[in-house]
Amino acid sequence: MSDLEELRKRMRKLQSRAGTAMMELHDLAEDLPSKWTEIRAGSVCLNSFGRFAKWISATDYAAAIIGVSALK
Nearest in space to 42 (alpha carbons), one of 68, 24, 69: 24
Distance CA 62, CA 40 (A): 34
Structural domain boundaries in the chain: 3-71
**42-53 pLDDT, tens digit each:** 688 888 889 999
DSSP 36: T
* Mean residue pLDDT across the chain: 83
Give the lowest-confidence range in 10-14, 16-20, 46-50, 64-68. 64-68
How would DSSP label each residue in 10-52? HHHHHHHHHHHHHHHHHHHHHTTTTTTHHHHH-HHHHHHHHHH
